[in-house]
Amino acid sequence: MELKRRDSIEQAKQYMLLATELLKENELACDPNNYAVAYEIVKGNNSTLASTYDKFKKTGRKIDNYCLEQWSQEFMSAEIPSENNLLSGLDKVLVELKKHVSGAGGSVEGYLQKLDTSMSMLNKTDDGISPNKVIKSVVKATHQVKTEQVQLKSQLDASQSEAQLLRQELNKLQREAVTDALTGLANRRGLEQYLQSLDDGSQLSLMVLDIDHFKGFNDTFGHLIGDVVLAKVADQVNKCRPKGSTAVRFGGEEFILITTNEDVDALQNLAETVRTKVESMKLINGKTKQRLPTITVSLGIAVQQKGEVFEQLLSRADNALYQAKDAGRNRVQLAV
């Protein structure tokens, strides 16, 4: 077994200072998960994490707890029952099926040989061979094959059930890998998958929205109610999204909706629909039965320009979002 090389005391001290400074710059708590991801970022050995962090920095945005949580799961988590494990399980089921079918083939072949022999014996009954004896032999062989075929059917049914369960588990893992657990929307990996699935000629339309004053709401009512609000807002976004588009939880309280080939007017109408739907939500504190404050969102929208990559489109929409917030929040702002 290969031993994992550990950092020296001096190296660890240096990475600790850089990691805590990174968290401080982004106004994040130095909790175990945040610190572990920040430590890996400044250390630089995890190339995929480092590349993702560099791309995110270029957007000019601050990382948040949700970012670090996603990166921890995507780039640092220990292996769980994975796609490879399940595919290995399916391979085993197929091997067992092959064994069962091969065995059945042998028993049928033996039966046919026995039948041929018996037919030959019946043709030679003049040689003193009793027909009853031949018939009993055929009946016995028939019962044996029937028993083996019943066993084969049972084995095939069991193998088929096992294979179906493995496929279901594989599909579940694949869905979970691209889905945000709290809101049911796509996560960052799901966003990448969606972008990769698009035709090169598709023109993207992007809506970025952020829940107004959400930090203060969380501080007042607690994270459990905050999570309910996140899920409710996500539900409104998901209900409004056009066919063929995708909605993503992109940050702690930030969501994006991506669609294709929507003109500016259609995108503005869509964003305004989302804004009004969220504002009209009536939420009740389940514990106190009191009505919660009205939830509003600010939105930035942008249509992809010729030669513009997704990161540039996102940056423009994000700038429009901050303009909407600076202008008083609860409004839609079109990117320039």
**What strands lie across the sheet with 332-334, from one edge to the other?**
246-249, 254-260, 204-211, 297-303, 332-334
Res 11: pLDDT: 86
Q: What is the pTM of this model?
A: 0.63
Instruction: Parse the chain into domains and list their residue ranges.
Output: 9-76, 83-177, 188-334
C-alpha dist (Å) from residue 241 to 181, 182, 235: 19, 18, 10
Supply the Cα-derived Rg of the chain in whole angstroms: 32
Per residue of the chain (336 residues), give pLDDT as tens: 344 557 788 888 888 889 989 998 888 888 888 888 999 999 998 888 988 888 888 777 788 888 888 888 788 864 444 555 555 555 565 555 555 555 554 555 555 566 566 556 555 555 555 666 656 666 676 667 667 766 766 776 777 777 677 667 766 666 677 899 899 999 988 998 999 988 877 899 999 999 999 999 999 999 899 999 999 999 999 999 999 999 999 988 999 999 998 899 999 999 999 999 999 999 999 888 899 999 999 999 999 999 999 999 999 999 999 999 999 999 999 998
Residue 37 burial by Cβ neighbours in a 10 Å radius (0-12, 13-18, 19+):
buried
Res 74: pLDDT: 80
Alpha helices in the chain (DSSP H): 9-25, 32-43, 47-58, 65-71, 83-123, 131-177, 188-197, 214-221, 223-240, 264-279, 310-326
Res 76: pLDDT: 80
Non-local (6+) Cβ contacts of 248 within 8 A are 180, 185, 186, 187, 188, 190, 191, 194, 255, 256, 257, 258
Res 122: pLDDT: 53
Q: Is 253 designated active site?
A: yes
Residue in 40, 253, 254, 262 annotated catalytic: 253
- Give, in words, the CATH class of 188-334: alpha beta
